[in-house]
Amino acid sequence: MKTKNILTSISIILFFFSSCYYDKEDQLYPSSGICDSTAPATYASTMVPLFQQYCYSCHGGTASSGGGILMGTYATDKAMALNGSLYGSIAHASGYSPMPKGLNKMTDCQISKVKKWIDGGSLNN
């Protein structure tokens, strides 16, 4: 009788341990906004929405806001891309002010999209 109780107890313990597992929530339940960094990175449909979400609230409008860094037009956005400060800031590279201040860093996928646009010549497409 004692052996049967011990075996039952061991079986129950093994059941509980085998049913426990660790998974990352974002892998089990991906968001509906899956980021595809392989898609073409165009200014109008890719960069402007990212810049609106992360940059324009501080760097749009007047040059006095956002530390004197102005964005919000193709010309100003391209200038930031070509001088290296856009990518350096959003990638939090050494020697650049990490952006966006006060918000979460862009995702790796979003940063890859910006890099792709920059590497493609920062076209107004």
Please tell me the predicted confidence (pLDDT) of residue 29. 46
The pLDDT, as a whole number, for residue 1 is 58
Predicted confidence (pLDDT) per residue in 104-121, tens digit = 899 999 999 999 999 999
Residues of the chain with pLDDT under 70: 1-33, 62-64
pLDDT at res. 11? 57
The three-state secondary structure class of 13 is helix
Torsional sign, CA 38, 48, 80, 91:
negative
Domain boundaries, the chain: 2-119
pLDDT at 81: 97
